[in-house]
Amino acid sequence: FCGDPMPFFHNGVFHVYYLLDKDHHGYFKNPGYHQWAHMTSTDLVHWQHQPMALEIDDLTKELSICTGSVTYHDGTFYAFYA
């Protein structure tokens, strides 16, 4: 499942980051185990899936990467999330 799209535009490329359930909540009994997936387009018609943008790396410490936003400033991309 996926949801909560987070659009971002930079240098002629549309980016959509979105929450993606890892293993459809199969790791824990409670829902909400989300990480950020990423897709891009230059024309909003043809889309390309990119590698995961923010993954859950440690199942003992990270339970969810929530909805947020992306911005760019002075050569650095920033991701803000809960």
In tens, the pLDDT along 35-65 reads 899 999 999 999 999 999 988 877 677 777 8
Residue that the structure tokens 């050569």 belong to: 75
Query: What is residue 52's DSSP assignment?
Result: E
Query: What pLDDT score was predicted for residue 23?
Result: 63
Query: What pLDDT score was predicted for residue 82?
Result: 76
Burial class (CB in 10 A: 0-12, 13-18, 19+), 82: exposed
List 35's β-bridge partners, or say none.
20
Q: Which residues contact 10 (CB under 8 A, 6 or more apart)?
A: 72
pLDDT reading at 7 higher than 70: yes
